[in-house]
């Protein structure tokens, strides 16, 4: 794993999300609790809604376009046949780090 | 051979070291004990009961003079140590030197003093020792007002003790909830509620700017410029290890005095123990690890092998009758799941945190009986997969019933208002039921409860069920969502009658089954709270749909539309030029004139929003709230200014209404129109409020619709003056804000409560009308402002956190 420091935890609003541009497209970084964060694809598999704009509740997010609800632990959509990719993330001394493998510019040749 | 042992500090940790030594190796050491306080070891944990008057100092003394004498300990109490000479192995006291073979530093901790003006005034005290406690007891004799800075354990104990002694106490806490290190938000809410019941005022997110006074403390000034009167200020914001002596002696000191697992400092003949030490990055404040340290240290002095290890600690605290427990690591984490149980009737909250099928943390409030059992599961790392479903009910109750959906109503006091229209309390209804009104119609006939607008029907039915038990079967009402058992109407009513003023209060008191709701209930709860408690509760953007959080309408491709307000549909060349410039500058693909008489810029990227708003702001344009459940537009015709048929200044009235109403949040969107004559060019007869001007005045229609349903407005009233038209409009909208269910447009709400019910309040009752207008004004003092201007200040929030595609390869 190659951990990349992306932001301070307080840069993400509590029960909110921010967006991260990566080689795999936009990744949404969710803050579900004081020190609880998740990362997943920003794109809803249904109609492409931006999940970083959804309402964050418990450990889930609701897509702002048509209310698909995703469990951020697994990326699985509730009651629907679809899921989103999730990415390892950790919090260290108030900073949020993401595993950059595959996400950053040019992956190792 | 007897060695000389000198101990600096007679606290609970060093006291325990001495006990081990005199019991297990009597005579091995010749002990000299220094203490800056003019007394020996007493149980500091019990200072709170001394403060509250439940105990006296004599009852909390651990070692008295006779005990020290019997053990042959030389006591030098009330004497400060001024230095340690490590080369000569001498401790220098104020009254003379003492040589040592082994030395123990047990200087404990010092209160942290926040560096504000006035911190040294007489009347500002800390809370660490008996002298502080006595100073508080003295101050409380004359009554008066006390401000306690710090809402941690110590601060709250001080607050409770002072309140007990008759002072008027306010607690200031920097963080969002009390005791945030030991409790989560929900438990912090319950603690706050219990303390408030004791008459203690709690202010969270309160940052102290200065302590005021000339020769004696007179008050506290907060960062937000609030001033509080105070005859006594207690600073209890935290403690830090007291390391000055160790520092001066050249020992290694980080945050505390660094020790190894044998409690030795960087000088092997000098030990340290208690709150002054740092071990492996940890500091210590609770008594259990201090006693472990004391045992290890004593064993070291007796040449017995032992080592200190940091253990999980359970905190079972009694903040003067508030029963709370926390253990393990209850912070949220990505790989963690919660099990939550709330019993509003008993004021109980329990949260278990589970990771990899193991319990890693627990927070409990109100009922902590199972704390020890849960703590055992945490320490032993027991696999709880098999008992997951019943885990939260504790060891004795594997397989409990589901939480009772009626408990919220059962918990209401007899004087809690159920029917707001007729002012009927729970007690009146329960009495009527007991006297034979065993169905809804009878309750209505006898008490008038639920006989007016009907929104409390669900609650009355629940009361029937609570009172009659199985004899009554309420028709199933649809709950708001899966997070709770309450329909919207009951939820609104309970927020009012129980005076619930925060989301945490709603989750706890109404028995929510989830941590913080979901996308269905949370926006509704957020609106109900801000509508009912405009001063106490603030709109929470994270509980709003994207459009209202971003202050722009999201489009199907993820871009946004931007609609500046055009008051009453009137604009000018300057505004139009600014709109045209913005459209060009930000490559807006579509510019459209809307049905609400303004201009829509479609296809703006999320990142560009703050910049385009700032540009439009410069030309005096503000948000049109084209995205909000709030006032959208007031459509007008040109009225008497230009039209030969115009009877009144319809444009002017439209602009006035828009300027009064803009920015307000409502249950759903609200659209108005004002037409200058019955030809109705502004199409006022299908609006939420539509005004038609006539020669004799104004005809007010309400509850129209031209969307999913098509409805003509119904006549609310005919009035003579423009002011009356404005007053009735405001009163109608405020009544709608206070009573409608979230996402009901006014026509749906009026269908449910009936136009007569609305008229009785808005038109026929001048007092109620005045109250509604005043309530609306109060709320608007907070919400009548341009969100674009505020958000343009935080432009970075609209940008991506980072762009990893730009990261250079290694």
pLDDT for residue B345: 74
Closest CB to A20: pick one of B606, B802, B810: B802
Q: Are B639 and B617 in a shared domain? A: no
Pairing of strands B560-562, B553-554: antiparallel
CB contacts of A108 in chain B (<8 Å) are 809-810
Please state which of the ranges A72-76, B202-206, B289-293, B473-477 shows the lowest mean pLDDT: B473-477
At B502-541, the pLDDT tens digits run 999 999 889 898 889 999 999 999 999 999 999 999 999 9
Contact B573, B551 (CB under 8 A): no
B152, part of any domain? yes
Contact B424, B447 (CB under 8 A): yes
Q: Chain B interface, mutation test: which of A92, A104, A108, A109, most B Cβ atoms within 10 Å?
A: A104
Mean pLDDT across B184-206: 88
Contact between A15 and B335 using a beta-carbon 8 Å cutoff: no
Domain range for B222 is 124-237
Q: Are B493 and B584 in a shared domain? A: no
Contact between B541 and A13 using a beta-carbon 8 Å cutoff: yes
How many Å lie between the alpha carbon of B746 and the closest alpha carbon of chain A? 25
Contact between B332 and A106 using a beta-carbon 8 Å cutoff: no
Phi/psi at A40 (nearest 5 deg)? -155, 165
**Where does residue B118 fall: left (phi above 0), alpha (psi -120 to 50 degrees), or beta otherwise?**
left
Q: Using the predicted structure, report yes or no on whether residue B597 has a pLDDT greater than 90.
A: yes
Nearest chain B residue (CA) to A107: B809
How many Å lie between the alpha carbon of A87 and the closest alpha carbon of chain B? 11
| Confidence band, pLDDT 50/70/90 cuts, at residue B315 | low
At B407-442, the pLDDT tens digits run 777 777 788 778 777 778 889 998 988 888 888 888
pLDDT for residue A109: 36
Burial B676-688 (b: 16+ CB within 10 A, else e): bbeebbbebbbbb
- Under 8 Å CB pairs connecting chains A and B tally to 127
Sign of CA dihedral B678, B682, B687, B689: negative
Q: Using the predicted structure, report yes or no on whether residue B712 has a pLDDT greater than 50.
A: yes
Q: Are B174 and B152 in a shared domain? A: yes
At B653-706, the pLDDT tens digits run 999 999 999 999 999 999 999 999 999 999 999 999 999 999 999 999 999 999
Q: Using the predicted structure, report yes or no on whether residue B613 has a pLDDT greater than 70.
A: yes
At B168-184, the pLDDT tens digits run 999 999 888 888 877 88
Contact between A105 and B805 using a beta-carbon 8 Å cutoff: yes
CB contacts of B506 in chain A (<8 Å) are none
- Angstrom CA distances, B762 to B229, B700, B726, B732, B759, stand at 41, 12, 12, 6, 5
Q: Chain B interface, mutation test: which of A64, A90, A94, most B Cβ atoms within 10 Å?
A: A64
For chain A, the domains span 3-99
Contact between B519 and A54 using a beta-carbon 8 Å cutoff: yes
B609, part of any domain? yes
Q: What is the pTM (predicted TM-score) of this model?
A: 0.69
DSSP string of B67-109?
A: HHHHTTPEEEET--EEEEETTTTEEEETTEEEE-SEEEE---E
DSSP reduced 3-state for B785: coil
Q: Using CA atoms, how far apart are residues B754 and B763, in angstroms rounded to an integer? A: 14
Q: Using the predicted structure, report yes or no on whether residue B744 has a pLDDT greater than 70.
A: yes
| Confidence band, pLDDT 50/70/90 cuts, at residue B464 | confident
Pairing of strands B417-419, B424-425: antiparallel
B21, part of any domain? yes
pLDDT for residue B804: 82
Q: Using the predicted structure, report yes or no on whether residue B398 has a pLDDT greater than 60.
A: no
pLDDT for residue A108: 41
Closest CB to B542: pick one of A16, A62, A72: A16
* CATH superfamily for domain A3-99: Rieske [2Fe-2S] iron-sulphur domain (2.102.10.10)
Domain total of chain B? 6
B217, part of any domain? yes
Q: Of B415, B418, B411, which is closest to residue B443 (Cα–Cα)?
A: B418
B799, part of any domain? no
Q: Are B482 and B587 in a shared domain? A: no
pLDDT for residue B142: 87
| Confidence band, pLDDT 50/70/90 cuts, at residue A105 | low
pLDDT for residue B571: 94
Please state which of the ranges B177-191, B305-319, B338-352, B594-608 shows the lowest mean pLDDT: B305-319
Q: Are B177 and B219 in a shared domain? A: yes
Contact between A13 and B542 using a beta-carbon 8 Å cutoff: yes
Q: Using CA atoms, how far apart are residues A41 and A65, in angstroms rounded to an integer? A: 15
How many Å lie between the alpha carbon of B754 and the closest alpha carbon of chain A? 33
Q: Are B249 and B326 in a shared domain? A: no
Contact between A34 and B546 using a beta-carbon 8 Å cutoff: no
Q: Using CA atoms, how far apart are residues B18 and B434, in angstroms rounded to an integer? A: 67
Contact between A15 and B516 using a beta-carbon 8 Å cutoff: yes
Q: Using the predicted structure, report yes or no on whether residue B19 has a pLDDT greater than 50.
A: yes
CATH code at B708?
A: 3.30.413.10
Q: Are B41 and B98 in a shared domain? A: yes
B488, part of any domain? yes
Q: Are B561 and B515 in a shared domain? A: no
Q: Are B639 and B773 in a shared domain? A: yes
Its ipTM equals 0.89
Q: Of B512, B529, B644, which is closest to residue B185 (Cα–Cα)?
A: B512
| Confidence band, pLDDT 50/70/90 cuts, at residue B404 | low
CATH code at B620?
A: 3.90.480.10
Contact between B809 and A23 using a beta-carbon 8 Å cutoff: no
Closest CB to B801: pick one of A6, A38, A103: A6
pLDDT for residue B400: 41
At B214-263, the pLDDT tens digits run 999 999 999 988 899 999 999 998 888 999 999 999 999 999 999 999 99
- Angstrom CA distances, B613 to A45, B67, B598, B600, stand at 31, 76, 16, 13
Q: Using the predicted structure, report yes or no on whether residue B449 has a pLDDT greater than 50.
A: yes
Contacts of residue B609, Cβ cutoff 8 Å, sequence gap at least 6: B550, B551, B552, B560, B562, B791, B798
Contact between B519 and A49 using a beta-carbon 8 Å cutoff: no
Q: Are B227 and B137 in a shared domain? A: yes
Q: Which residue has the higher pLDDT, B276 or B343?
A: B276
Contacts of residue B423, Cβ cutoff 8 Å, sequence gap at least 6: B417
Instruction: Choose one of B536, B564, B588: the last residue of a domain.
Output: B536
| Confidence band, pLDDT 50/70/90 cuts, at residue B399 | very low
- Angstrom CA distances, B335 to A3, A44, A105, stand at 18, 22, 28
What average pLDDT is seen over chain B? 88
Please state which of the ranges A8-17, B517-526, B550-559 shows the lowest mean pLDDT: B550-559
Question: What percentage of residues in chain A have a pLDDT greater than 90?
Answer: 58
Q: Using the predicted structure, report yes or no on whether residue B134 has a pLDDT greater than 50.
A: yes
CB contacts of B808 in chain A (<8 Å) are 105
At B750-790, the pLDDT tens digits run 988 899 999 999 999 999 999 999 999 999 999 999 999 98
Q: Are B649 and B778 in a shared domain? A: yes
In the 8-state DSSP scheme, what is residue B172? E
CATH code at B297?
A: 3.50.50.60
At B106-129, the pLDDT tens digits run 999 988 888 999 999 999 999 888
Contact B82, B92 (CB under 8 A): yes
Q: Using the predicted structure, report yes or no on whether residue A80 has a pLDDT greater than 90.
A: no
Which residues on chain B place their C-beta less than 8 Å from a C-beta of chain A?
331-338, 514-519, 522-523, 541-546, 549-550, 554, 556-558, 606, 797, 800-810
B722, part of any domain? yes
How many Å lie between the alpha carbon of B272 and the closest alpha carbon of chain A? 28
Instruction: Choose one of B609, B628, B647: the last residue of a domain.
Output: B628
B809, part of any domain? no
Q: Are B30 and B129 in a shared domain? A: no
pLDDT for residue B387: 80
């Amino acid at each position: 794993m190659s951990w990349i420091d992306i932001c301070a935890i307080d840069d993400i609003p509590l029960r909110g999300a921010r967006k991260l541009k990566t080689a795999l497209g936009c990744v949404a970084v969710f803050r579900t609790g004081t020190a609880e964060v998740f990362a997943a694809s920003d794109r809803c598999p249904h109609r492409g809604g931006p999940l970083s704009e959804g309402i964050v509740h418990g450990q889930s997010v609701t897509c702002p376009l048509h209310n698909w609800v995703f469990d951020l632990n697994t990326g699985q959509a509730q009651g629907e046949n679809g899921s989103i990719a999730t990415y390892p993330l950790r919090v260290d001394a108030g900073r949020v780090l993401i595993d950059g493998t595959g996400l950053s510019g040019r992956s190792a040749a | 051979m007897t060695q000389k042992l000198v101990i600096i500090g007679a606290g609970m940790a060093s006291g325990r070291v001495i006990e081990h030594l005199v019991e297990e190796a009597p005579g091995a050491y010749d002990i000299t004990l220094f203490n800056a306080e003019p007394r020996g070891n007493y149980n500091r944990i019990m200072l709170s009961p001394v403060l509250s008057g439940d105990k006296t100092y004599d009852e909390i003394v651990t070692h008295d003079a006779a005990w020290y004498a019997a053990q042959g300990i030389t006591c030098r109490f009330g004497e400060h140590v001024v230095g340690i000479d490590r080369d000569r192995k001498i401790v220098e006291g104020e009254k003379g030197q003492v040589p040592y073979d082994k030395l123990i530093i047990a200087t404990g901790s010092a209160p942290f003093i926040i560096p504000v003006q006035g911190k040294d005034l007489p009347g500002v005290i800390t809370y660490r020792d008996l002298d502080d406690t006595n100073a508080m007891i003295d101050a409380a004799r004359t009554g008066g007002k006390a401000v306690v800075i710090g809402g941690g354990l110590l601060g709250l104990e001080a607050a409770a003790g002072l309140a007990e002694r008759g002072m008027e106490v306010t607690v200031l806490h920097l963080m969002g909830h009390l005791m945030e290190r030991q409790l989560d938000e929900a438990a912090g809410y319950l603690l706050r509620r219990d303390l408030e019941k004791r008459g203690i005022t709690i202010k969270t997110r309160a940052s102290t700017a200065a302590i005021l006074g000339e020769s004696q403390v007179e008050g506290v000034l907060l960062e937000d410029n609030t001033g509080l009167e105070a005859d006594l200020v207690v600073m209890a914001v935290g403690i830090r290890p007291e390391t000055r002596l160790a520092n001066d002696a050249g020992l290694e000191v980080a945050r505390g005095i660094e020790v190894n697992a044998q409690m030795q400092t960087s000088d092997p003949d000098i030990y340290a123990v208690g709150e002054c030490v740092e071990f492996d990055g940890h500091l210590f404040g609770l008594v259990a690890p201090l006693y472990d340290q004391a045992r290890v240290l004593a064993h070291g002095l007796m040449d017995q092998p032992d080592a200190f290890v940091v253990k999980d600690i359970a905190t079972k605290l009694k903040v003067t009758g508030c029963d709370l427990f926390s253990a393990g690591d209850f912070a949220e984490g990505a790989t963690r799941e919660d099990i939550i149980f709330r019993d509003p009737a008993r004021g109980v909250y329990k949260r278990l945190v589970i990771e990899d099928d193991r319990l890693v943390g627990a927070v409990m409030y109100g009922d902590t009986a199972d704390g020890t059992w849960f703590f055992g599961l945490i320490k032993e790392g027991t696999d709880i997969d098999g008992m997951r479903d019943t885990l939260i009910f504790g060891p004795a109750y594997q397989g409990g019933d589901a939480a009772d959906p009626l408990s919220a109503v059962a918990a209401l006091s007899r004087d809690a208002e159920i029917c707001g229209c007729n002012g009927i309390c729970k007690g009146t209804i329960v009495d009527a039921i007991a006297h034979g009104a065993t169905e809804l119609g009878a309750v209505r006939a006898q008490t008038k409860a639920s006989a007016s607008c009907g929104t409390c029907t669900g609650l009355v039915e629940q009361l029937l069920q609570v009172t009659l038990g199985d004899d009554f079967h309420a028709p199933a009402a649809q709950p708001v969502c899966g997070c709770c058992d309450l329909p919207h109407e009951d939820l609104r009513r309970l927020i009012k009658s129980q005076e619930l003023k925060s989301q945490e209060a709603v989750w706890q008191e109404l028995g929510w089954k989830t941590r913080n709701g979901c996308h269905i209930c949370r926006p509704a709860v957020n609106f109900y709270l801000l509508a009912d408690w405009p001063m106490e509760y603030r709109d929470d953007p994270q509980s709003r749909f994207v459009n209202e959080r971003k202050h722009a309408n999201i489009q199907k491709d993820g871009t946004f539309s931007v609609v500046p307000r055009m008051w009453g549909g009137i604009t000018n060349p300057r505004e139009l030029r600014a709109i045209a410039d913005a459209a060009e500058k930000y490559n807006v693909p579509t510019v459209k004139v809307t049905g609400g008489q303004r201009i829509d810029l479609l296809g703006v990227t999320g990142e560009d929003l703050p910049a385009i708003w700032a540009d439009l702001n410069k030309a005096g344009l503000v948000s049109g709230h084209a995205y909000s459940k709030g006032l959208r537009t007031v459509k007008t015709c040109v009225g008497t200014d230009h039209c030969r048929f115009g009877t009144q200044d319809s444009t002017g009235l439209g602009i006035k209404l828009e300027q009064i109403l803009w920015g307000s949040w409502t249950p759903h969107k609200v659209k108005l129109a004002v037409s200058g004559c019955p030809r109705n060019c502004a199409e006022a007869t299908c609006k939420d409020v539509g005004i038609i001007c006539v020669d004799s005045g104004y005809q007010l229609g309400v509850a129209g619709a031209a969307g999913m349903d098509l409805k003509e407005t119904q006549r609310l009233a005919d009035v003579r003056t423009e002011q009356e038209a404005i007053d009735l409009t405001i009163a109608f909208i405020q009544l709608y804000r206070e009573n409608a269910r979230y996402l009901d447009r006014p026509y749906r709400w009026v269908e449910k409560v009936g136009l007569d019910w609305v008229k009785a309040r808005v038109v026929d009752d001048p007092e109620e009308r005045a109250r509604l207008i005043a309530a609306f004004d109060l709320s608007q003092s907070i919400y009548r402002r341009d969100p674009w201007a505020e958000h343009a200040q935080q432009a970075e929030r609209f940008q991506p956190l980072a762009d990893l595609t730009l990261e250079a390869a290694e």
